[in-house]
Amino acid sequence: MGNQPSPFFQQLGPAFPTHKPLIGPPPHLPLIRRRRLFSPVHPVLSRPVPPRLRDSALLSPTPLAGTMDGPRSDMGRWGGNPWQPPATPSPEPEPEPDRRSRRGGRSFWARCCSCCSCRNRADDDLGLEPHGDRGSGSRGRRPDSRGSDSRQPGFYRISGVNAAGDGTIREGMLAVTGVDLLSARSEQNRQEHHTDEFEYDELIVRRGQPFCMALLLSRPYESSDHVALELFIGNNPEVGKGTHVVIPVGKGGSAGWKAQVTKASGQTLTLRVHISPNAIIGKFQLTVRTRSKAGEFLLPFDPHIEIYILFNPWCPEDIVYVDHEDWRQEYVLNESGRIYYGTEAQIGERTWNYGQFDHGVLDACLYILDRRGMPYGGRGDPVSVSRVISAMVNSLDDNGVLIGNWSGDYSRGTNPSAWVGSVEILLSYLRTGSSVPYGQCWVFAGVTTTVLRCLGLAARTITNFNSAHDTDTSLTMDIYFDENMKPLEHLNRDSVWNFHVWNDCWMKRPDLPSGFDGWQVVDATPQETSSGIFCCGPCSVESIKNGLVYMKYDTPFIFAEVNSDKVYWQRQDDGSFKIVYVEEKAIGTLIVTKAIGSNMREDVTHIYKHPEGSEAERKAVETAASHGSKPSVYANRDSAEDVAMQVEAQDAVMGQDLTVCVVLTNRGSSQRTVKLHLYLSVTFYTGVTGSVFKESKKEVVLAPGASERVYMPVAYKEYQPHLVDQGAMLLNVSGHVKENGQVLAKQHTFRLRTPDLSLTLLGAAVVGQECEVQIVFKNPLPVTLTNVVFRLEGSGLQRPKILNVGDIGGNETVTLRQTFVPVRPGPRQLIASLDSPQLSQVHGVIQVDVAPAPGGGGFLSDAGGNSHAGETISMASRGGA
């Protein structure tokens, strides 16, 4: 496509379209605005272009080829941000190219943007220095002011310029000639702040904790000298907003900031700087101001002496503090995790590479806040930050990170099932400024976990099975049937997702009454609007558990997802509807996450809801429903229930025949005759169903206390033409008991299991040494898979890599071998996926224990491997059937 915009992206424009393909909110998700739950804390902000983007060719007044045309119609929560989307990306975001062959001396934009570069795109670096030209393109050392690559580690020397007064440096003046932030990953600063895994050479620290630095002076420091550090962030730094911080050395600073001299030796002054636990997070510019008898000196700004400040879950004074070290290791520092999907009875799991420490990811996370136009003064508040992230990870309203697509047509982007991690997505967004196609709930949640952990918030990915989507704020799932108990799909606006994935993040809630600290739900999947924008949370899990739906943010919607009742309504002869059945244990049947310190699954249902059927659980449901749009729903129930119904489904495998079974049990003392209807259709995991492709009607006579099984066999050739994403099917069962009029109703979802990829490591993994992995896949279908694409990714092992393998024949086995070069020691995970139009949701993972480099070397400069975009694997490198 080159630089020409595709017709698809021209359709998108800066505001999201309302065209027929189901791209954006999932199907059956009308844009119903929920009751306004909050007023934005910050007023409308008019922001100039961020300084690190001012020199970018992407902001040229001359329109670029492929630029989205027209101004945005919705400027978002903090409107007024004049930043406009740059050139439209190709539908397939490029993965990271080979880092080992990078050239130095080129700016980030010149390396990354075809508009700014005259070099071959294959040689471009997609994310080395995201903001501005750092001088040297080689990571692992800062540029030498003396023009030599052989300088010893130590001070970054600064040319003799005084930014104060008339710029003259007088004799006897205390000038700063060098700064050493002690920022190497092996230094004490990075290790004590738990930031040594970040693939950055800049200083990255956490608020509420001290760090050390050293100044090289023009003469020895004297007791009469005055030194002050100054930190700046944003476009109009102000002391009152915390965006301009003044820290006098040797004196108490303001709001928890302070700096002390720990050693003065010759012309070197060593300082210990304590960061306020309430500091704004982001990338600060550092300068030094001195005053002596000879006059005042001000160190000019230099991009090589910038500091990243993050939230600190290790600091008791920080409101994101987590009081368990194993929690911090898992929910802040773990770079991979498990995401669960499928159905409650057929749980699937996949490994996700969060990659929060990969180079470029931190800049991408901060860029998300910039792109939203979030005021810098509000970036110290994790409640506001997490809410902005939930809005920005989806593309609606604000051209955020990911375009949602539930249509089944992913030809203009990536099938959501094909992603194996967040790194490729975030670096593509940083590189192009354009939303990445495509995502669904687990992709939105995986990226959100990455962003939250990267910024220092403890976060985990949560899966809720049988997750309700309430569209009318009734806080019940209402399902409508005709007189014969056939579903009335045009009335069934509420839906029950087979599973839904969101995030928990840990923080105190000073904006709520006491008792609501701890886990907070944040959901970036665009389902319903909140205060006019597509975001959700943070919402206290404790308020969800107790049905306190008046607590902010978005508690009614999330409560309905986990603990509403499924209410079945039947149309009567006069056209009215009557409740014929209430299923109380159908929603939020299992809520899980990855366990701490292992790859086991942890059941966290108990923190979201009281035990099903208990008095506390019923009270929570009825309390919540009383605040909904149908407060009297529980007063309209009839019951005469002596026939019970269950649905059983075997473990079905994609490509094979299957059988479903309905079990009827007469618990009464009299004979019962049941007229049973079974309707089978395919369904998206969001609960949206296709047309019925098989149905069955049976009449069953049950003796007192007896049970009967009713079977429905389904052949592969019957369901294959109807399959959609996830290979899920929905069985609607309804029945009528002739003797007492009892109505039976049940919806049962099951999925067709897909095969896994088998990964085998061929040899030991050592930092800096090439290693080989073998991937084996057997096609389970009797049909050819076309345009097969493999993805390979692993933090510290392999930057995102795409492998095109062409076609794979029916029931054929293929074997691929790929090399990579580990760059960080320790236990790592290498993750792979396969995608084709005929088969998706195929993935595999292998644990890789990486040994340090010989001689005790710690880290290499970056993850590499032959990671050029769209590498084609020849047939000769494939295994036979």
Whether the CB-CB separation of 282 and 290 falls below 8 Å is answered with no
For residue 484, give the 3-state DSSP assignment: coil
Q: Are strands 813-820 and 771-778 parallel, antiparallel or unpaired?
A: antiparallel
- Give every CB contact of residue 855 below 8 A, 6+ residues apart in sequence: none
* Cross-sheet strand order for the sheet of 871-872: 765-766, 842-851, 826-835, 785-794, 798-808, 871-872
The packing angle between helices 441-455 and 423-432, to 10°, is 80
DSSP state of 270: E
Residue with tokens 């995102």: 800
Number of CB atoms found within 10 A of residue 644's CB: 12
Question: How far apart, in Å, do the first and last CA atoms of the chain sit?
Answer: 36
Q: Using CB atoms within 10 Å of the CB of residue 153, give its burial: 0 to 12 exposed, 13 to 18 middle, 19+ buried.
A: exposed
3-state secondary structure of 388: helix
The answer to whether 793 touches 827, Cβ cutoff 8 Å, is no
Q: What are the beta bridge partners of residue 268? A: 216, 265
Chain centroid to CA 43:
27
Q: What are 462's two structure tokens?
A: 């949560």
Short-list 795, 801, 757, 760, CA closest to 779:
757
Residue pair 553/423 in contact (Cβ under 8 Å)? The answer is no
Distance CA 375, CA 465 (A): 37
CB 305 within 8 A of CB 176: no
Q: How many C-beta atoms surround the C-beta of residue 114 within 10 A?
A: 16
Tell me the H-state helices in 133-277.
Answer: 188-192
Q: Is 746 within 8 Å of 649 (Cβ atoms)?
A: no
Q: Order of strands across the sheet with 813-820? A: 758-762, 771-778, 813-820
Task: Specify burial of residue 525 (Cβ count, 10 A radius: 0-12, 13-18, 19+).
Answer: buried
Cα gap 402→842, rounded to integer Å:
21
Q: State the catalytic residues.
A: 441, 500, 523
Distances in whole angstroms, Cα of residue 744 to Cα of each of 161, 423, 565, 645, 676: 84, 48, 16, 7, 9
Helix axes 441-455, 382-392, angle to 10 degrees: 150
Q: How far, in Å, CA of 101 to CA of 595, rounded?
A: 39
What DSSP string runs through 767-787?
TTS-EEEEEEEE--SSS-EEE
Q: Percent helix, strand, coil in the chain (nearest 5)?
A: 15, 35, 50
Q: Which helix (H) or strand (E) element contains residue 555?
A: helix 555-563
Six token digits for residue 251: 């004196």
Residue 582 bridge partners (DSSP): 567
**Which residues does 601 contact at the CB level (< 8 Å), separation at least 6?**
338, 340, 347, 349, 592, 593, 594, 595
3-state secondary structure 281-318: CEEEEEEEEEEECCEEEECCCCCCCEEEEECCCCCCCC
